């Protein structure tokens, strides 16, 4: 009896040590994994992150069942590199040619087939894998011109997804069609599709020619082919029966997602859902428009995004899968109001006192905190205790974390920017696993956050670049990505990045510059010179 407490101590020590050694549970049945990624949703856009004007009760359900991270990062402030990073565990600038940050709808596949991706890793572990919604990682091999009338490959199915139903790039870029398992849905062979980002091959009027046909007026870049009342970036001909209507998109997402869940309920599955909201063009289902508590069209489409999330959660519940499903809900980059279409988003949000970046500086395209710090919720009711975590986590970490959880192996050289966050997920008091994160913007702008410090080296470009076809580099949104002097901020004291400490703290500039250089980041001109 005397030794009883010692025995308890020893037993817990053994438990502790064995947990440390394996770092992850060996679940009887591996969890299903669902990654829901919104498009351009900001740190302050959800009610669980403090938004008052836009209730998001469904997404909040994930927060109430899991961990709400307050330092969760997309590693880039545009879609393509962030999605690349989530799927590969590598920062996109390691691989993607010419520092591409936004791909056109006819761009080649950005992930080399044969790369170990998150879906491929899980597929090898016996998971059924699927993707529904936004892709924006290119299609085809880049050698033969992309032909949307046959098998459009390589694409998601050649990098690990068994099933795919995607739109190729963004809703504001042609072709405005769905591709299901590499083929355009509803294509009439007698009306073949052609796509160009250079020549006007459009068989419908352009936005510049017939503004009277538009639901929303647009800037020059977004004023090419009009498809169902919205002018887009790029020119499209044919495929009329296959062209989607914007208001149908959320319904297709829900139907296809629920279908996938029902079909694969008995097997572990990995499902990646790329929601289209609140990216432009913002079009809401008439039943959602003006719903109570929203702030204009941007608020409406956030509610629409929340509705879709609710449908996914309901399906999981109905299929009794909630408990053993790991969900990540996040966004690919920070928010923006005007992004090509005159939809009054800013005026309406201002009137409702809604700040999409939740008090952080900056917006999409840039490298301030509001540009890349995003909502980041992770739940797994069977294993992950509920709470809030201020530990740093990045989309790249999904690979190593899911490997730890499922027992998958990551070979040397793969997923080099991925850290296993299982200890942080499992224990609210665990030490931070991640100390730094690199943030990538357009125009070769980079930043590094290390602990509380943040460095943004001058990028010394003369004109903004990397925004895709037709964009105007003098546009103030893009011009803001040009960083003329080195910036250093202390985020603990100055979370809104208002006070540049670079000249006061040269040793910190040096330390963070060295750290950034060590990551292997290229083409940061301000960094090379010091
Ligand atoms: C830009 C588009 C923008 C959006 C973005 C990609 C302008 C003028 N144009 O070139 O509308 O499509 O590319 O956004 O801003 S992302 O979230 O997919 O990266
Ligand atoms: Ca985006």
pLDDT at 21: 37
Instruction: Please state the rounded mean pLDDT for residues 488-506.
Output: 98
Which residues are paired to 76 by β-bridges? Answer: 440
Q: What angle do CA 277, 282, 283 make, to 5 degrees?
A: 105
Q: Which atom of ligand 1 is nearest to the CA of 478?
A: 15
* Interaxial angle between packed helices 249-263 and 296-318, expressed in degrees from 0 to 180 and rounded to the nearest 10: 20
Tell me if 340 CB under 6 Å of ligand 1. Answer: yes
Distance 17 CA to ligand 2 centre (A): 42
Q: Is the CB of 76 under 6 A from ligand 1?
A: no
pLDDT tens-digit map of 2-19: 333 333 333 344 334 333
Based on its alpha-carbon atoms, the radius of gyration of the chain, rounded to whole angstroms, reads 23
* b/e sequence 33-43, b meaning 16+ C-beta within 10 Å: bbbbbbbbbbb
Which one, of 143, 156, 81, lies nearest residue 468 by Cα? 81
Burial of 133 (0-12, 13-18, 19+ CB in 10 A): buried
Task: Name the closest-CA residue to atom 15, ligand 1.
Answer: 339
Q: pTM of the entire structure?
A: 0.94
- Label the pairing between strands 128-134 and 269-274: parallel
467 C-beta closer than 6 A to ligand 1: yes
Q: Tell me: the pLDDT tens digits for 95-133?
A: 876 567 899 999 999 999 999 999 999 999 999 999 999
523 pLDDT more than 80: no
d(CA 44, CA 298): 13
Q: Which domains does the chain have, with CATH numbers?
A: 29-187+243-426 (3.40.720.10), 194-237 (no CATH), 442-519 (3.30.1120.10)
Helix ranges (H only) for 23-109 are 57-65, 79-88
Q: What is the largest CA-CA distance in the chain?
A: 90
Closest protein CA for atom 17 of ligand 1: 79
- Under a CB-based contact definition with an 8 Å cutoff, are residues 487 and 512 in contact? no
Which is higher by pLDDT, 464 or 96? Answer: 464
């Amino acid at each position: 009896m005397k030794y009883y407490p010692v025995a308890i101590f020893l037993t817990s020590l053994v438990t502790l040590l064995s947990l440390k050694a394996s770092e992850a549970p060996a679940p009887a049945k591996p969890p299903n994994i669902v990654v829901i990624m919104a498009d351009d949703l900001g740190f302050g856009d959800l009610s669980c992150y403090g938004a008052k004007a836009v209730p998001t009760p469904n997404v909040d359900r994930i927060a109430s069942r899991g961990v709400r991270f307050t330092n969760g990062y997309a590693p880039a402030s545009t879609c393509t590199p962030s999605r690349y990073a989530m799927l590969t565990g590598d920062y996109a600038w390691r691989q993607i040619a010419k520092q591409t940050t936004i791909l056109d709808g006819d761009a080649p596949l950005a992930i080399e087939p044969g790369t170990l991706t998150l879906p491929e890793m899980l597929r090898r572990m016996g998971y059924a894998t699927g993707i529904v919604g936004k892709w924006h990682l290119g299609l085809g091999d880049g050698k033969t011109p992309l032909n949307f009338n046959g098998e459009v490959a390589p694409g998601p199915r050649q990098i690990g997804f068994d099933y795919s139903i995607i739109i190729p790039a963004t809703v504001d870029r042609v072709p405005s069609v769905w591709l299901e398992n590499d083929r355009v849905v509803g294509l009439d062979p007698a009306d073949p599709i052609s796509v160009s980002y250079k020549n006007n091959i459009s068989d419908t009027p352009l936005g510049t020619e017939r503004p009277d046909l538009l639901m929303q007026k647009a800037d020059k870049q977004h004023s090419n082919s009009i498809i169902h009342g919205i002018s887009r970036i790029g020119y499209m001909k044919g495929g009329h029966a296959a062209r989607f209507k914007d208001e149908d998109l959320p319904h297709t997402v829900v139907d296809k997602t629920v279908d996938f869940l029902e079909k694969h309920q008995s097997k572990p599955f990995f499902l990646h859902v790329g929601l289209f909201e609140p990216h432009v063009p913002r079009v809401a289902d008439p039943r959602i428009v003006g719903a109570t508590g929203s702030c204009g069209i941007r608020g409406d489409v956030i509610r629409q995004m929340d509705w879709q999330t609710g449908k996914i959660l309901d399906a999981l519940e109905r299929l009794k899968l909630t408990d053993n499903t790991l969900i990540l809900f996040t966004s690919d980059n920070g928010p923006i109001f005007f992004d090509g279409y005159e939809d009054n988003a800013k005026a309406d949000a201002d009137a409702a006192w809604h700040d999409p970046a939740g008090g952080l500086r900056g917006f999409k395209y840039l490298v301030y905190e509001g540009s890349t710090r995003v909502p980041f919720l992770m739940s797994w009711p069977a294993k992950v205790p509920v709470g809030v975590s201020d530990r740093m986590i990045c989309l790249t970490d999904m690979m190593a974390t899911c490997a730890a959880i499922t027992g998958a192996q990551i070979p040397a050289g793969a997923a080099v920017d991925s850290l296993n966050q299982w200890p942080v997920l499992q224990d609210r008091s665990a030490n931070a696993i991640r100390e730094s994160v690199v943030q990538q913007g357009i125009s070769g702008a980079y930043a590094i956050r290390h602990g509380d410090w943040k460095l943004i080296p001058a990028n010394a470009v003369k004109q903004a670049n990397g925004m895709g076809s037709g964009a105007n580099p003098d546009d103030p949104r893009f011009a803001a990505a040009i960083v003329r002097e080195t910036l250093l901020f202390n985020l603990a004291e100055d979370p809104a990045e208002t006070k540049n400490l670079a000249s006061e703290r040269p040793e910190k500039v040096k330390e963070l510059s060295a750290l950034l250089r060590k990551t292997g980041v290229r083409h940061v001109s301000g960094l090379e010179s010091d």
